[in-house]
Amino acid sequence: MEMENRTLALRDIRQIAHKMRASGLSSIELTDGHYRLRLKTSPRPVPQPSAAVPAPAATPQKNESLCAPMPGVVLLQHPLADRPYITPGALAEKDALLGLLKVGPVYLPLRSPVKGVVASVAIAQGECVEYGEPIFTLLPAEEAA
């Protein structure tokens, strides 16, 4: 009986960690009967403006898009529930759960980047998305008022 190769290549692990960091995900755990992999990344440092540079004048804000952090299947409602996480026109707090992205056996949260009103949902329940594809468009709360 031949044993199946169930290892992850270091190159693949680095790609996963890079995509995690780019999407703001701080930890992920992958398990199988033959291995367990736990990855933790530190958040990207946010550049602080220097005190010598004057702050830019207030400009009108634009719509914020929430794009797919990696390829997967979009779930706009809990897999076991019949109601959506959020609907167009609803107010979403910053970091509110808007949906899930199913990547293999892993469910990644899709969280609101700003406090605002959900202007549109570009993807239907269960549709596949590619990296960077817009899923939600939000109008910041200041503009929605």
Q: Which is nearest to 25 in space by CA: 93, 139, 124, 107?
A: 107
Q: Residue 51 falls within a domain, yes or no?
A: no
pLDDT of residue 1: 44
Domains held by the chain: number: 2
Look up the domain containing 31 and give its range. 10-41
Q: Are 130 and 68 found together in one domain?
A: yes
Do residues 115 and 139 touch, judged by C-beta distance below 8 A? no
Q: Are 96 and 136 found together in one domain?
A: yes
Q: Are 112 and 70 found together in one domain?
A: yes
Q: Residue 53 falls within a domain, yes or no?
A: no
pLDDT of residue 43: 53
pLDDT of residue 46: 45
Q: Are 68 and 17 found together in one domain?
A: no
- In the predicted model, residues of the chain with pLDDT beneath 50 are 1-3, 46-48, 50, 59
Please tell me the pTM assigned to this model: 0.56
Percentages helix, strand, coil for the chain (3-state, rounded to 5) are 10, 35, 55
Question: 28, exposed or middle or buried, with CB in 10 Å at 0-12, 13-18, 19+?
Answer: middle
Do residues 105 and 86 touch, judged by C-beta distance below 8 A? no
Q: Are 69 and 136 found together in one domain?
A: yes
Q: Residue 123 falls within a domain, yes or no?
A: yes
Q: Are 71 and 136 found together in one domain?
A: yes
Q: Residue 54 falls within a domain, yes or no?
A: no
Q: Are 22 and 69 found together in one domain?
A: no
